[in-house]
Amino acid sequence: MISLKYALIMAVGAFAAGSFFASPLPQAIAAVIATDVQCTGCVGTPDLAGSAVTNAKLANGAVNSAKIADNSITAADIGANAVGVSEIATDAVGAAELQGVTKLLFGECIFTAEEVEMTRTAGSSHQKFCNINGVDYDDSAMATLNNSNPCIEIQRAVLGIDIVYVQFKNDCPSNEVLGNGAKIAVMVYDK
């Protein structure tokens, strides 16, 4: 009679011999099947290790706005100087996006040809009316004069309802004109 000890040794030996000396064809088929798996939903979130999906594994354009949850990108996710003028649409930033600002309006006042050529005596002050909808008395304003004559300078901007009165002065000791292309840019804001 065969003892249990010898029976176990023979069983392990037979198994090892069968595995080691098995035909290479079934092993090759198993290897192809294992490396050529194509199915939908075969790999789920639990199957992925933490940080396993890297940039190199994402196709170009694979991550778009539909795949990004609302409010999931924070300032920490954006590189320094990564958002520039080309990434911000025209008129996309308004008072609501600026901390402490409740109103932000821009306007431009164009001088007529007659106003441009009008002689401004030395030391004289003048006024230009700029219509800007939404302006009222308790707002603040800044104005700049774009012209070719350095003698003419902005003194102040006074606000009314839907209008800004921009006062400017000829600071030179000679009579001066505004010069071609003269215009006033106005920024109105409220806190």
Is 78 within the bounds of a domain? no
Is 21 within the bounds of a domain? no
Predicted model pTM: 0.53
- What is the pLDDT at residue 149? 86
Is 115 within the bounds of a domain? yes
Q: Residue 107 forms beta bridges with which residues? A: 186
- What is the pLDDT at residue 86? 83
Q: What's the CATH number where 183 sits? A: 2.60.40
| Structural domain span for residue 146 | 97-190
Is 5 within the bounds of a domain? no
Residues 6+ apart with CB under 8 A from 168: 125, 126, 127, 128, 145, 152, 153, 154, 155, 184
- What is the pLDDT at residue 93? 76
- Percent helix, strand and coil across the chain, each rounded to 5? 25, 25, 50
- What is the pLDDT at residue 138? 92
Number of domains in the chain: 1
Low-confidence spans in the chain with pLDDT less than 70: 1-39, 41, 95
**Residue 30 DSSP class:** H
Is 90 within the bounds of a domain? no
Is 61 within the bounds of a domain? no
- What is the pLDDT at residue 25? 60
Look up residue 13 and give its two tokens.
């030996």
Strands (E), 34-139: 103-110, 125-131
Is 9 within the bounds of a domain? no
CA angle, 119 then 120 then 122, to 5°? 130
- What is the pLDDT at residue 53? 81
Is 84 within the bounds of a domain? no
